[in-house]
Amino acid sequence: MRFRAKIVDLACLNHFSRVINTIAKLAKTCTLRLTVNKLYFILSDRVANGGVSMWCELCQGNFFDEFQMEGVAADHNEIYLELMPENLSRALKTAQNAKAVKIKLTNKHSPCLKVAVELPSLSSSSRIVTHDIPVRVIPRRLWNDFREPVVPDFDVSIYLPVLKTMKSIVERMKNLSNYIVIEANLSGEMNLKIETDVVSVTTHFKDLGNPPWASEDGCQSSAQGRDLQSMAEVRIDIKKLQQLLVGQQVNPTKALCTGLVP
């Protein structure tokens, strides 16, 4: 089992740090899955109890200059590690003007992800900052827990408005109620509603656009035959939604929200 990677480009490093920071805000521990071409950050809380489940897929070529991975076995050429993304985020925080960042999986006394940052310095040789992040190797028998979640059949799928706007609205609504209702339809309209005994507040968004989903096997998904104007609504815990929005540091090109009404 071997893993080494190197980032040399500052923009890539910056982007990677921001992704890690986002993940660090969402979860205390998460799973890092390494394959030959991709990195995945996975958090699979049991969705039933309203937890946050996260699946983050990164293409290694977009970030790393060098990437070498040898998995646990030839036929299972992957590595699953459990780590605290907060540690990784901290390690990269002070590396923003680094000459190079090398990440390596080591096992001196115990498995660690060693992040070695080479910083420029006034003297001839550079400063080297090494961070040893303790990790736990997840055995193969548990790999099934981390399968990619399937996007379920949905009723409505809509592009979100600018996340910053949404974040500030949700933050104010958080003070008034514990649950928020998100309503959306296939005409690009979305409402965020809260209702209490004393007050009810609704924010309307228009012209958001709906992403086209090609249906598989040609069969009609439940969204197909839907009336364009009718709203599908879901009620979620506002704190969890806010946690998700607060953590967003990467400016997404598109953010989608898909809702399935039970």
Binding site for another protein (CB under 8 A): 87, 90-91, 94, 109-110, 112, 121-125, 127-134
Of 77 and 110, which has the nearer Cβ to another protein? 110
DSSP calls for 169-185: HHHHHHTT-SEEEEEE-
Residue 128 CB, nearest distance to another protein (Å)? 5
Helix (H) / strand (E) element for 54: namely strand 53-59
**H/E run at residue 208:** none
Q: Which is nearer to another protein, 33 or 131 (CB)?
A: 131
Shortest Cβ 95–another protein spacing (Å): 9
Q: Between 133 and 241, name the residue whose CB sits nearer to another protein.
A: 133
Smallest gap, in angstroms, from Cβ of residue 150 to another protein?
A: 35
Six-digit token string for 145: 């827990």
If one counts every other C-beta atom within 10 angstroms of the C-beta of residue 231, the result is 19
User: How near is the Cβ of 230 to another protein at its closest, in Å?
Assistant: 51
Q: What share of the chain is helix, strand, coil (3-state, %, to 5)?
A: 25, 35, 40
225, 239, 242, 249 from 163: Cα distances, Å? 29, 16, 11, 10
- Which neighbouring-strand residues pair with 190? 184, 205
Q: Which is nearer to another protein, 65 or 132 (CB)?
A: 132
**Smaller CB distance to another protein: residue 62 or 94?**
94
Query: Taking the complex as a whole, how short is the minimal distance between the CB of residue 138 and another protein, in angstroms?
Result: 16
